[in-house]
Amino acid sequence: MNSPAEPPAMPKGLTDKAISIALAVLYTKEIWYTIGGFIGLIMICHWGSVVLSKCIQWSKTPIDDVERRSLAARRGRTSLRRLPLALVNLWRVMAFRCTLRIGKSYSLCLSDVFCTMAYMAVIFTFALLNTTDLEGKIFDVKFYSNRAGGLAAVQFPLITALGTKNNVISLLTGVSYEKLNNLHRMAARVLFVLLWIHAGPKFAAGITSAEASEQWLQFGFLAGFGFAALIVISLRPVRAAAYEFFFYTHFALAFLILLGGYFHLAEFKLQKYIWPSFLVWGLDRFIRLARVLYFKLTPYIVARPEITSAGIETKAYAEPLTPDLVRLCVPRPPGFSWSPGQVAYVIVPSISRLPIEAHPFTIASLCDSEMEKQSPLSEKGREHWSDLVFLINAQAGFTKRLANHASKGRQDPLTVLIDGPYGHSPDLSGSDELVVVAGGTGISYALPMLLAAAKKGTCRRVLFIWSIRDPSHLRWVAPALMKAISMAPARMSMSISVYITSSTKLDLPKLLDTFDSDAQSLRSSFNRSEESVFTEKKLGGGPSVSGLLDLHAVQISYGRPNFDSILYDEMLNADGHMTVGVCGSQAIARAVRSALKVNPFAGANGVLKGGPSVTLHVESFGYA
């Protein structure tokens, strides 16, 4: 009797192919579960922190002088009740104040480094996991090459969302768009490596002329080489040297990459991984366009009779403050509100080269309708709490053209379109002490925060530090600083320290003569020594530089601020919660971060020993 015929053996290559396809489909789903789980964890931590801080704020009772003296007496003693708060501060120090410097161009806080490394680990683990074929050959190209392409494809919607201004990730996690933009660049670079893991073996094996004529492969090459070009022009030195070139090329190349990727994947019926990117990008653009149109049309629909009847400037205008600094003032559209530290995108059709050219600038004024109504229409500096004010460094491109226009004077008004506001504002309601540090035009971020703190009056102590090269900047900021001092309640201790960092020894009294006619009275009290500090002892003066210097709260010094010493002393005399806001150069941001690297478990300023719990907010110049 003949035995039954055995079924023909399945070709090994087909078996490996079936396994590799099954794993590729599985891992493209699981990687999204992993990323979604991480975003969910950040969301839970964020909203949990919000709820907890509100509960603490509501249950917090004012501390009188007797209790404050009692707290000061216990300073230096270990209190285990403060252990959870000390652990929170340890996390802040490690994640946001410790940085990794890469050359002169990059400085990354460890939280960004951790997110990038975790993303890389997840991506490459899924790409190289289970890549051994049935013969035992590890890292078989048939397994990881196509899988890497699928994993890269499903990342495009995430990369697109991280780069948009209006995205659900920011809404859920509380991480502002500019912080997500750092992750957008890092993730895109990881994705670029993944694409070469996908395409590299094909190049190594050689491409036949028949394969090269296939349209789906040509679209893949188009997307890959477009991505390579985008990686090069997105490097910080290139962006810093030619930002407008980067802006336009980034837009064109990103569209080219998505288009090439879509038609490349269509050959395998996988274009579903790409088209959500167009949806995410289109939704963001629609929201931004709707905002621009709304704020452009509302002034014609909702009139402000108190403004128009008084003959106040109702057109946007730019004026030069110094040869390299322009102040752009835009009447606040009805319904447009913002918080200190937020930014708006500015479109000036007569200056911009294309309608889509929008430039982000920090809003240097405070949004407060009550202050606007109570302030006399002729009050100096009124624009800092009634209009949208932007302080713009004139460098090249758009900003240089704007400076050239500003030199013509106010007789040539501008049409300005506004998109925003964007970014998150520090919550000062629970802060006992506020330290605001600004460098140069970083006062755009710091000044509204100072005005808001003075208006709310919830902080016991406010220290404002401004580092400038040109003392003439005091002329245009003096009215706003004096307004902040005048609004501060009696229980608030406010200090304003201005540091002049010019390497050239300046005759400040002579300069003050050019600022206002009252400066002559300062000559007798000014010491020409480069290390001198002068503070007038009487309260009074008008909204001028000399009037500002007449105030007890104001100090002017030559040289750079010693942040280690300044912040150490502030923490030594503080208790409760301390907020530090910084906007300036990378050097200033690094110096403040370094000064706040305090061991929360030991030392005079340790949280466990009664020191303040410190929250740091950094808005740094430059390109990440």
**pLDDT, position 226:** 93
Structure confidence at residue 411 (pLDDT): 65
Q: Is 73 domain-assigned?
A: no
| Confidence class for position 534, pLDDT limits 50, 70, 90 | very low
Q: Which phi and psi angles does 573 have, rounded to 5°?
A: -100, 5
What pLDDT score does 621 carry?
56
Which of 47-61, 196-210, 357-371, 531-545 comes out lowest in average pLDDT? 531-545
Q: What is the pTM of this model?
A: 0.82
Q: Is residue 471 part of a domain?
A: yes
In this predicted structure, the answer to whether residue 347 has a pLDDT above a threshold of 60 is yes
**Domain range for residue 471?**
426-624
Q: How many of the other CB atoms lie within 10 Å of CB of 341?
A: 23
Do 477 and 401 belong to one domain? no
Residue 253 pLDDT greater than 90, yes or no: yes
Q: Which residues contact 615 (CB under 8 A, 6 or more apart)?
A: 92, 426, 431, 577, 578, 579, 580
Neighbours of 486 (CB within 10 A): 11
pLDDT in tens, 365-386: 888 777 767 666 656 667 777 7
Sheet strands side by side (includes 343-347): 359-362, 343-347, 417-422
517 and 393 belong to one structural domain: no
3-state secondary structure of 340: coil
Whether residue 192 is found in the same domain as residue 319: no
How confident is the model at residue 123, as a pLDDT?
Answer: 93
> What integer is the mean pLDDT of 333-351?
89
Residues 465, 351, single domain; the answer is: no
pLDDT at 592 (0 to 100): 93
Asked if residue 565 and residue 462 are part of one domain, the reply reads yes
Distance of alpha carbon 281 from alpha carbon 159, whole angstroms: 11
Under DSSP, the state recorded for 94 is I
Please tell me whether residues 392 and 439 are part of one structural domain: no
Same structural domain, 523 and 595: yes
pLDDT at 505: 57
Is residue 420 within 8 A of residue 453, CB to CB? The reply is no
Q: Do 421 and 503 have their domain in common?
A: no
Where is mean pLDDT largest: 185-199, 350-364, 400-414, 423-437?
A: 185-199
Contacts 24+ apart (CB under 8 A), 89-98: 89/598, 89/600, 89/607, 89/613, 89/614, 90/600, 90/601, 92/614, 92/615, 92/616, 93/596, 93/597, 93/598, 93/600, 96/593, 96/616, 96/618, 97/593, 97/594, 97/596, 97/597, 97/616, 98/593, 98/597
What pLDDT score was predicted for residue 506?
Answer: 56
Same domain, 517 and 608: yes
Average pLDDT over residues 3-9: 47
Listed ranges 89-98, 538-547, 598-607; the one with the highest mean pLDDT? 89-98
Are 353 and 229 part of one and the same domain? no
pLDDT tens-place string over residues 448-460: 999 999 888 888 8
CATH of the domain at 603: 3.40.50.80
The alpha carbon of 412 is separated from its chain's Cα centroid by a whole number of angstroms, namely 33
Q: How far is the C-alpha of 228 from the C-alpha of 218, rounded, in Å?
A: 15
Q: What is the mean pLDDT of residues 44-71?
A: 73
Question: Is 90 exceeded by the pLDDT of residue 562?
Answer: yes
Average pLDDT over residues 558-568: 91
- Give backbone dihedrals phi and psi of 363, rounded to 5 degrees, phi first: -75, 120
Asked if 316 and 413 count as a contact pair (C-beta separation under 8 A), the reply is yes
Q: Are residues 468 and 601 in the same domain?
A: yes
What pLDDT, in 10s, does the model give residues 576-595? 889 999 998 888 988 999 99
161 and 241 belong to one structural domain: yes
Does 523 have pLDDT greater than 60?
A: no
Domain count along the chain: 3
Tell me which of 70 and 595 has the higher pLDDT: 595
